[in-house]
Structure 1
Amino acid sequence: MLSVLRKIVQEVSTAPDLESVLDLIVRRIQRAMRTQVCSIFLFDPQLQRYVLRATQGLNQEAVGQVSLSMGEGIVGQVGQRAEPINLEDASRHPAFHYLQATGEERYHAFLGVPIIHHRSVLGVLVVQQVEHRRFDESEEAFMVTVSAQLAGIIAHAEATGSVNGEQHPQARVQPQRDRHFNGVAAAPGVAIGTVIVATLAAELETVSDKRAVDMEHELASFRAALASVKDDIRTVSQGLAQRLQSDEQALFDVYLRMLDDPALSDAIEQAIVDGNWAQGALREVILTQVRQFNAMEDAYLRERATDIRDLGRRILSYLQESAGPVAIDCADDSILIADELSPTMLGLVPEDKLVGLVSVSGSGNSHAAIMARAVGIPTVMGVVDLPFTRLEGRQIIVDGYSGRVYVNPSDKLLEAFREVIREERAVAAGLESLRDLPAETTDGYRMPLWVNTGLVADVTRSLERGAEGIGLYRTEIPFMIRDFFPSEQEQLNSYRSQLEAFAPRPVTMRTLDIGGDKALPYFPIEEDNPFLGWRGIRVTLDHPEIFLVQVRAMLRASEGLNNLRIMLPMVTSVHEVEEALRQIDQALTELQEEGYAVQRPLVGVMVEVPAAVYQVRRFARLVDFVSVGSNDLTQYILAVDRNNPRVAGLYAAYHPAVLRALQYIARETRKEGKPVSICGEMAADPGGSLLLMAMGYEVLSMNANNLPRVKSAIRGVSLARAQSLLTRVLRMDDAEEIHQYLRQSLKQLGLGQLTRPRLPHQTGDSA
């Protein structure tokens, strides 16, 4: 059964549309289970009914015509309960509803399992037989497993169909309006614009459909690429002729025959003539042939699917190379979408025309996401079900607050989001006057506001918004944008630019924090659970040659400025802190002996894991300051990977356990007379900043784009009022209740414009 399951999933995953997906599923499952009937009912959110969308065994005329309401019939019961129903004789079940058009009166045995994707019931998978019998446990387990494996494929195919209006011919054919897809909110803000799809090098699945501007040019490009691949194969074959046996040599002849086959080249050229550009035509034909070979019973022929895909990639590589840097015709409001955004892709669109970013995979802490936040571009990552290759040239909405992407937006939804954008601009304009004013409460309490940086571009933006220092400089970014470890001098240059720009203001540099979701291409860390693995201080202490070079570069960069602070990430034990301090002192001594006029900077630790929370006083005795990394701390306390779209909704910055941990850290650090600061999403939220101020945090560090809002909130309230808010919040037991209470409190204080804008609520499907 396992091999059957793998084959079904592999074959179905390459089907071109929803109708093909469903038809393949019912045919393959009916054959695998040797049952008389297999059917799929999909839930239609507009009709609020389960519609028969595919069947093998029932009357084909009933497909698209027969449906059941929620809870109606046994199918409705399966969907309502979200659990399997296995019956010896379905007609005896109290919920049985006879569907005359299907011709199912002959069938008695019934097994229905729900198709569930991201907690939503997409539909019901059903098998039936004439005999009076219950399906056995292994059959039921197989159906449940198949359903779970295929749910994502069905969801993606359904989404593609609804977006493009390619649903079953007997169902609706108009594209679904206001369809939204859920991801991870990576950079706040709202964008409305035209999609540009960034294609990965030689990856067929990421090639988008585009109209051929010059058909003859596209045909010539394809023929030249095909000829180049043939030449490559002949060259390799001749070069290895003396080293390979005749059977192995014959493999090259197989490749050449495939490329010479008119069925391949003619089909691609016909797709170009029909209007697709060469790369899109290649993808269309190659993947179709891959599906056909995968479906064959003969093992040898199935293996040819891999060969066809390989040849397709080779041709695509030449097509992309000959095209050179793609000249993108950008609209004034362009939204860039990619399977996985990279920093280099951001350069495909001029900065003045780029309004939004979307990545199908990737996390909120990826390099691209960090850059997007730095330049203030609304971004959503991890939109796994988005049919992005079909969206070139479409108008979409990117909601960087909730992590949603809206496709085929209606005029009503567009206007609602345009109003959100107008409100954002009005608030931003009103906050500009606060730049040179202090973040001081109405009763005279002064709260320093610092920024988190990592790019040179961050400096100007931070100073323009009135930043008083840097609370977190991410030193890993200069490492991430290179193909090898930067030298001491290269690091010195990067660090000096930050220190000089902010002098005499303090600049807190976090030592190299790689691992987890921050990988270096030239220093790969492969782990099953990277967030609980080799990351942060653990890596650098294991590689003192990396740590010492970085510390030396920091110290040399601060010479004559003396505004450097060094911060140690991901500490979990006193031993780690002591060893890091020893190495910092070693680097300091070496430099002083070499004649550099460097001073020992303030050194602190980041509290990011629960283990550090309960040792914070011991850490405080060893170092000069304590800083909380609230994003990671929240993630570890709640055991939620906030970059995983499946559980990102469980990430709650205002969770009572998180708030109590933050209050404990501030109280315990103050007992040792050491300053305590915080950087992360909570510090960047106007309501959260008031709670942190009331807890006793002495510095708030945030993204520069959020600084004006936080400053306005602090200037609009007294410290006593903030402390009263905190007292009330700490008595609450629910994160959402706390969030709503803070929102209402800010409104009562006349600061409602600072809260996250109220976004249009839609009742359409979510994927």
Structure 2
Amino acid sequence: MLETLRNIVQEVNSAEGLNEALEIIVRRVRDAMGTEVCSVYMRDQTSGRLVFRATEGLNPAQIGMASLAPGEGLVGLVAEREEPLNLENAETHPSFQLLEGLGEELFNAFLGVPIIHQRDVLGVLVVQQAQRRRFDESEEAFLVTMSAQLAGVIAHARVTGAVQEELLGGAREPTRITGIPGAPGIAIGTAVVVSPVADLYVVPRKTVANRRQELRAFRTALAAVRNDIQTVSDNLRGQMSPEDHALFDVYLGILDDSAIGGEVAGLIKSGEWAQGALSQVMIEHIRHFERMEHSYLRERAVDVKDLGTRVLAYLQDAARSEPKLYPPHTILVSEELTASVLGEVPRDRLVGLISVRGSGNSHVAILARAMGLPTVMGAVDLPYTRLQDRELVVDGYNGIVHLNPLPEVRARVQQLVDQDHALSRDLESLRDLPSETLDGHRMPLWVNTGLMADVTRSLEQGAEGVGLYRTEVPFLLRERFPSEEEQRQIYREQLEAFAPRPVTMRTLDIGGDKALPYFPINEDNPFLGWRGIRVTLDHPEIFLGQVRAMLKASEGLDNLRIMLPMISNVPELDEAIQLIQRGHRELVQEGMDLALPPIGVMVEVPAAVYQARVLARRTDFLSVGSNDLTQYLLAVDRNNSRVADLYHAFHPAVLQALCCVAEAGRAEGKPVSICGELAGDPLAAVLLMAMGYQVLSMNATSLPRVKKSLRNITLAQATAVLEEVMLLESAVEVQARLHRLMQESGLEQFVHIPVA
């Protein structure tokens, strides 16, 4: 069964679009189960009807014509109940309904299973047989497994098919792909697809005008790979048996113009760019080998893939030497975006980001929020390799990507873009105004920084201090640990830029989703592993060097605060404080005039919530890291798009934990701040202020929006709403109440409803 499942999924994965995928499914499932009929009904996205879309055994003339309403007939019942239906004699079932012209009259046995992707019923997979019998448990289990395996592939193929039809000159079908909100805002622009280095499976499709140039580039790359293989062949001659050595001749033959090389050249001549032509031809041959029965031949797929990857690497090297042009409104699209990729695009041309992987709290999303770029993460069904140069709409408020938007949708989007720009201009006038409520309550707004580039933007937005300086950023940008003096210079720049405003420097926080290339940490569960303070306490030489650099940098400025990440118990805290005090003593003994700076703890694990009073007693301040705290409280990996919809900072348990920390700080007379992404949400800021947080720290882009929100309400209003939401039972209810508050306060612009 496993081998059959693997082969069918593999073959469906290679389909160009939905129709081809469904044809493969019905043919292969009917053969695998030995039934007389296999059919697929797909739910129409507009009408909701279940449309007869593919069959082996029934009347193919009815494909696309016959349909059933939700709950109608046996197929509708399967979709409505979202569970299998296994009948010995279908006609005797009260929900049975004969569709004229389908040819079902001859078939009695019926087994239907729903096709469900991310809780959405996409359709129903059905097998039928003339013989009156119930399909046995193993057959039902096979079909259920098949449906579960194929659901994601079908969802992806549905979107791919819509894109492919348009590329072939078909109708422009409006399509929307749901992902995860990454950074707020909405943008219209042109897709620029970013591919990882030498990966055949993610090369975008693109047509070119200069076919001769592409053909020349391909033949140059081909010659380079042939030369590489010949060199290896010559070096190993005499060290291998003649039979094994003959494999190199096979490699050279594969690349010959009469073989794969000729197929690629043919595609280039038809207008495809060299990388796309190579990718399409090589993947087709790789899949051909993978489907072979004989294990020796199946393993040759690895050889073909290796050859294709080598040629692609040369093509990409050649392309990198040419200046890359970006359209005026670039939307970067990739399987997994990185900070380095963002840096390659001129800022004045970049308007949005889409990433197939990741979630709203992965680091590229945090960076996007800091840059003010509308972003959608976790768009797993997006056929991103086919979107090069396509017009897209990125709705970062709701996590939606629109392809081929209808004119009225596009007009509405443009209106929202204009409103966003108008709001930004309006917010600029708030820069020099205090962050205080209508009844005079002051709420200091600080910023999170990591690069010197953040400084100017933060000061321009009216930041009153730095609640989180990510010291790992300089470590991430190097190929080795920075020296103590290098760190001192970097920290001094930050402290001087904000002086006399306070700057809170978090000690090195690596591990989890932040790995240093020169200090790899490989773990099965990195978020629960060796990260944050656990790493630096195990390496006191790193910790002490960093603390000494911070202290030296603060001489004469006295605006440094040191914050310790990932504290989960008191002994950790005591050990870290002792090391800081030791570093301070050493510098004083060396003749420096330094006061010991305030020391605080990041509350980001549940253990710290429950020990918040004890931690506050030993330190000068507490600061909540809401991103990780939410992740750990809800047991939801914030970088996993499959469960990202469960990651919700308005979850009642998260709100209760936040209240608990604020109360602990108040009880010990210590200030409590929050520096996670929640602090930059205009809705959440209202609740945090009411809980008693004395400082909100956020990315610079969010600061004016939060200030606008706070200046339009009273503390009394916020306190009353907090009392209400603490009695609610779900994040959805909490968010709905906050939306009403925004509307009551004339802040409708902070309530974002998806466009159609």
Normalising by structure 1, we get a TM-score of: 0.95
- CA distance in 2: counterparts of 1:665 and 1:343, whole angstroms: 33
Secondary structure in 1 matching 2:160: helix
Matches within 5 A, 1:14-33: 14-33=14-33
Distance 1:182 1:486, change over 3 A: farther
- CA distance in 2: counterparts of 1:730 and 1:367, whole angstroms: 30
The answer to whether 1:290 aligns with 2:286 is yes
Worse-matched range after superposition: 316-325 or 469-478: 316-325
Matches within 5 A, 1:635-646: 635-646=631-642
Of 482, 504, 509, the match for 2:505: 509
Counterpart of 2:9 in structure 1 is 9
Of 549, 557, 578, the match for 1:561: 557
Distance 1:68 1:443, change over 3 A: closer
Uncovered stretches (5+) of structure 1, i.e. residues with no partner: 763-767
Letter in 1 for 2:261: S
| Structure 1 contact 420–757 (Cα < 8 Å) conserved | no
Letter in 1 for 2:155: A
Counterpart of 2:104 in structure 1 is 104
The answer to whether 1:493 aligns with 2:489 is yes
Distance 1:699 1:490, change over 3 A: same
CA deviation digits over 1:271-300, x for unaligned, max 9?
111111111111121112222222333333
| Structure 2 contact 256–262 (Cα < 8 Å) conserved | no
| Structure 2 contact 16–164 (Cα < 8 Å) conserved | no
Of 407, 410, 431, the match for 1:411: 407
Of 172, 175, 186, the match for 1:175: 172
The answer to whether 1:125 aligns with 2:125 is yes
CA deviation digits over 1:162-184, x for unaligned, max 9?
233269x9xx952321x221222
Of 652, 658, 676, the match for 1:662: 658
- CA distance in 1: counterparts of 2:285 and 2:238, whole angstroms: 33
Matches within 5 A, 1:542-581: 542-581=538-577
Of 434, 439, 448, the match for 1:452: 448
- CA distance in 1: counterparts of 2:281 and 2:341, whole angstroms: 27
Letter in 2 for 1:123: G
Matches within 5 A, 1:299-314: 299-314=295-310
| Structure 1 contact 182–645 (Cα < 8 Å) conserved | no
- CA distance in 2: counterparts of 1:453 and 1:135, whole angstroms: 62
* Structure 1 residue 22, shift from structure 2 partner: 1.8
Worse-matched range after superposition: 340-349 or 181-190: 340-349
Counterpart of 1:256 in structure 2 is 252
Counterpart of 1:115 in structure 2 is 115
* Structure 1 residue 467, shift from structure 2 partner: 0.4
The answer to whether 1:361 aligns with 2:386 is no
- CA distance in 1: counterparts of 2:197 and 2:731, whole angstroms: 43
Letter in 1 for 2:236: L
* Structure 1 residue 119, shift from structure 2 partner: 0.5
* Structure 1 residue 557, shift from structure 2 partner: 1.9
- CA distance in 1: counterparts of 2:748 and 2:19, whole angstroms: 48
Matches within 5 A, 1:177-216: 177=174, 179-216=175-212
Secondary structure in 1 matching 2:429: helix
- CA distance in 2: counterparts of 1:439 and 1:696, whole angstroms: 15
Worse-matched range after superposition: 500-509 or 316-325: 316-325
* Structure 1 residue 451, shift from structure 2 partner: 0.7
CA deviation digits over 1:533-573, x for unaligned, max 9?
22222222222232222222222222222211111112111
Counterpart of 1:372 in structure 2 is 368
* Structure 1 residue 82, shift from structure 2 partner: 0.8
* Structure 1 residue 126, shift from structure 2 partner: 1.5
CA deviation digits over 1:169-203, x for unaligned, max 9?
9xx952321x2212222221111111111122111
The answer to whether 1:338 aligns with 2:326 is no
- CA distance in 1: counterparts of 2:308 and 2:112, whole angstroms: 40
Worse-matched range after superposition: 13-22 or 455-464: 13-22
* Structure 1 residue 460, shift from structure 2 partner: 0.6
Letter in 1 for 2:85: I
- CA distance in 2: counterparts of 1:326 and 1:359, whole angstroms: 25
Letter in 2 for 1:678: I
Secondary structure in 2 matching 1:262: coil
Counterpart of 2:621 in structure 1 is 625
Uncovered stretches (5+) of structure 2, i.e. residues with no partner: none
CA deviation digits over 1:337-363, x for unaligned, max 9?
112112222234211111111111134
- CA distance in 2: counterparts of 1:610 and 1:324, whole angstroms: 47
- CA distance in 2: counterparts of 1:345 and 1:204, whole angstroms: 19
Secondary structure in 2 matching 1:640: coil
Secondary structure in 1 matching 2:172: coil
| Structure 2 contact 622–665 (Cα < 8 Å) conserved | yes
Secondary structure in 2 matching 1:701: strand
| Structure 1 contact 190–398 (Cα < 8 Å) conserved | yes
Letter in 1 for 2:171: Q
| Structure 1 contact 328–349 (Cα < 8 Å) conserved | no
- CA distance in 2: counterparts of 1:504 and 1:15, whole angstroms: 62
CA deviation digits over 1:293-328, x for unaligned, max 9?
223333332222222221111111111112234533
* Structure 1 residue 100, shift from structure 2 partner: 4.3
The alignment's C-alpha RMSD in Å is 2.1
| Structure 1 contact 184–644 (Cα < 8 Å) conserved | no
Letter in 1 for 2:265: E
- CA distance in 1: counterparts of 2:433 and 2:470, whole angstroms: 27
- CA distance in 2: counterparts of 1:446 and 1:21, whole angstroms: 60
Normalising by structure 2, we get a TM-score of: 0.96
Distance 1:757 1:105, change over 3 A: closer
- CA distance in 2: counterparts of 1:750 and 1:55, whole angstroms: 55
Counterpart of 1:75 in structure 2 is 75
- CA distance in 2: counterparts of 1:565 and 1:401, whole angstroms: 34
- CA distance in 2: counterparts of 1:424 and 1:265, whole angstroms: 51
Matches within 5 A, 1:420-435: 420-435=416-431
| Structure 1 contact 201–317 (Cα < 8 Å) conserved | yes
* Structure 1 residue 261, shift from structure 2 partner: 5.6
- CA distance in 1: counterparts of 2:716 and 2:478, whole angstroms: 49
Matches within 5 A, 1:725-744: 725-744=721-740
Distance 1:645 1:681, change over 3 A: same
Distance 1:738 1:359, change over 3 A: same
Of 576, 585, 588, the match for 2:584: 588
Distance 1:321 1:119, change over 3 A: same
Letter in 1 for 2:304: I
Counterpart of 1:765 in structure 2 is none
Distance 1:316 1:86, change over 3 A: same
* Structure 1 residue 78, shift from structure 2 partner: 0.9
Letter in 1 for 2:450: G
- CA distance in 1: counterparts of 2:661 and 2:437, whole angstroms: 23
| Structure 2 contact 374–396 (Cα < 8 Å) conserved | yes
Counterpart of 2:323 in structure 1 is 327
Secondary structure in 1 matching 2:348: coil
Matches within 5 A, 1:596-745: 596-745=592-741
Worse-matched range after superposition: 547-556 or 729-738: 729-738
Of 446, 455, 461, the match for 1:465: 461
Number of aligned residue pairs: give it.
756
- CA distance in 2: counterparts of 1:687 and 1:365, whole angstroms: 17
| Structure 2 contact 49–68 (Cα < 8 Å) conserved | yes
- CA distance in 2: counterparts of 1:711 and 1:166, whole angstroms: 45
* Structure 1 residue 657, shift from structure 2 partner: 2.1
Of 742, 747, 754, the match for 1:746: 742
Worse-matched range after superposition: 227-236 or 657-666: 657-666
| Structure 1 contact 358–381 (Cα < 8 Å) conserved | yes
Matches within 5 A, 1:45-64: 45-64=45-64
Secondary structure in 1 matching 2:551: helix
| Structure 1 contact 52–66 (Cα < 8 Å) conserved | yes
| Structure 1 contact 366–518 (Cα < 8 Å) conserved | no
* Structure 1 residue 720, shift from structure 2 partner: 2.6
CA deviation digits over 1:723-742, x for unaligned, max 9?
22222332333322222222
